[in-house]
Amino acid sequence: MKNVYKYIIAIIVFIVMIFMVYESRKELNEVSKTYFYMDTYISVKVYVKDNNKGSEALNKIDEIFEEYHNLTNKYEDHEKGLYRLNKNGSGDIDKKLYDIIEYGYNFYDKSNHLLNIGIGNVTDIWKKYRESESGVPSLDELNKVNININDIKLDNGSIRLKNGVNIDLGSLAKGYATDIVGEYLESEGINSYVINAGGNVLVGKKYHSDKYKIGIEDPTGAVAIYKIIKAEDIAVVTSGGYRRSYTYNGVNYNHIIDPNTLYPADNMLSVTVITKESKLADLLSTTLFLMSYEDGKEFIKDYDAEAIWYLKDGTVKMTDGMSKYE
Amino acid sequence: MNKNDIIVCILIFILGIFLYLFSFNKNSGELAIVYYDHNKVLEIDLKDKNKRTYTVNGYNGEILIETVDGKVRVVDEISPKHLCSKQGFISGSSESIICLPNKVIIEIVSDDVDTVVR
């Protein structure tokens, strides 16, 4: 009789173990959607118990990205948006647009005067050449236009642009909107998510036992991914010259323009920044792309952020703190 | 407890560990995901190396997709410039085919990573 009890206990233990394994395997459902805004392909994945709640959130996110697309778009006319501000030099702008411009404007001094949102006139010229692939603008042509950021006058919700200065939010609009979407998801109680807006990645809490694995694309294309970062509740942004560029007479011209030379920056192939906020990661990665690796290594020490540089000779450099994401 | 009991305990313990390990070691590989009008409509497992074709409905009509040897391409689509079929095969987890006129996007995702920073 005693033996029978023993075996019954053994069987119960066995069943409990199977149940525990089953529980540990049970994951939240993934619901995903893609969007096309801000000239880029955006994908959002959320991990939820209730699929309907996930789908509703993804539809709301469509509206958020569309709103930020309209407000920050330099080339399409929208109510209270950037196109109208640039064209008229003043006028009624949306509070949300004001906040983005203010955030970018305030970073100018912090970035050693490299991140200049007043560079719009120069990026317009480069865009024209890039799209027609018809040559390279001369320094004369570039020097004629005004990029003085001090001609942007911010005053309590209203903005005045003096002397024809023109705002370009390409260095932060995607990162900024990504943070807004992340905040929206958190407010809905959806804490596990992956937002990828054209090089701007923001992830929430992990949804199973592993952290998120975020691959970084190889700028040379030799392999698809050259590095994987393991993290949660983090933003990862890459700036690179290998996307949105054109080649003329054998020289590659990318879209990230150095405000000092007025020509595309050519310090490295790509740089990736990892920090809490996507909007800060966006500004920092553009700033590091405009600096030499040596300057950037010192610059980034002032921030609670890590960076990975892919240099032109193929070497990869990292900040010491990167080890926590291995 | 006698010797047999201990053996039974150890066996159950080992079995449990195996079950646990298996539960986390399921399919590692690549998938092609097809979206129409921003919603997922098809998921193709690229571990299957045989040549297979799939049809999805695009905005202008049917789109013919082919997979072979871990690669994906659009064979035929109804669009003005046929940019999608001209792009040819894609492979590797950071590539995508975007057929704007048909509102269809095909991307390759890897089970090994959750997303790729481009």
**Cβ distance A242 to A270 under 8 Å?**
yes
User: A265, A290 in Cβ contact below 8 A?
Assistant: yes
Give the residue among A93, A84, A103, A270 at the shortest CA–CA distance from A179.
A103
- B29 touching A (Cβ < 8 Å): no
Distance from C-alpha of B118 to C-alpha of B116, rounded to nearest angstrom? 6
> Quick one: closest CA in B to A9, which residue?
B9
Per-residue pLDDT of chain A (326 residues), as tens digits, is 567 787 788 788 778 877 776 665 556 899 999 999 998 889 999 999 999 999 999 999 999 999 999 999 999 999 999 999 999 999 889 999 999 999 999 999 999 999 999 999 999 999 999 998 889 999 999 999 999 999 999 999 999 999 999 999 999 999 999 999 999 999 999 999 999 998 899 999 998 888 999 999 889 877 778 899 999 999 999 999 877 788 888 888 999 999 999 999 999 999 999 999 999 999 999 999 999 999 999 999 999 999 999 999 999 999 999 999 98
Contact B38 A196 (CB under 8 A): no
HEC profile of chain B: CCHHHHHHHHHHHHHHHHHHHHHHCCCCCEEEEEEECCEEEEEEECCCCCCEEEEEECCCCEEEEEEECCEEEEEECCCCCCHHHHHCCECCCCCEEEECCCCEEEEEEECCCCEEEC
**CA atoms of A147 and B24, how far apart (whole Å):** 54
What is the predicted pLDDT for the residue at B48? Answer: 80
Of A21, A32, A214, the CB nearest to B113: A214
Burial of A69 (0-12, 13-18, 19+ CB in 10 A): buried
CA–CA min distance B73, chain A (Å)? 18
User: Are the beta carbons of B116 and A196 separated by less than 8 Å?
Assistant: yes
Q: Do A17 and B94 touch (CB under 8 A)?
A: no
Tell me which chain A residue has its CA closest to the CA of residue B38: A34
Band of pLDDT at residue B26, cut at 50, 70 and 90 = very low
Whole-number pLDDT of residue B33: 87
The residue that leads in pLDDT, B53 or A20, is B53
User: Cβ separation of A41 and B98 shorter than 8 Å?
Assistant: yes
Tell me the whole-structure pTM to 2 decimals: 0.80
Is the ipTM beyond the 0.95 threshold? no
Is A201 touching B (CB cutoff 8 A)? yes
Q: From residue B98, give the alpha-carbon distance in Å to each of A106, A324, B44, B73.
A: 37, 35, 17, 11
B residues 78..117 contacting A (CB < 8 A): 92-96, 98, 100, 105, 107, 110, 112-117
State the pLDDT confidence band at B24, using cuts at 50, 70 and 90: low
pLDDT at A2: 65
| A91 Cα to chain B: minimum distance (Å) | 35
Tell me, what's the pLDDT at B31?
83
Report the pLDDT value the prediction gives residue A149, as an integer from 0 to 100: 97
| CB neighbour list of residue A38: distance below 8 Å, 6 or more residues apart | A65, A68, A69, A72, A73, A173, A174, A177, A197, A198
pLDDT grade, residue B38 (50/70/90)? confident
pLDDT in the model for residue A239? 95
Take residue B3 and report the two structure tokens written for it. Answer: 């010797």
Phi and psi at residue B29, in whole multiples of 5°? 170, -165
Residues A237, A179 contacting (CB under 8 angstroms): no
Beta bridge partners of B57: B62
Nearest CA in chain B to A37: B38
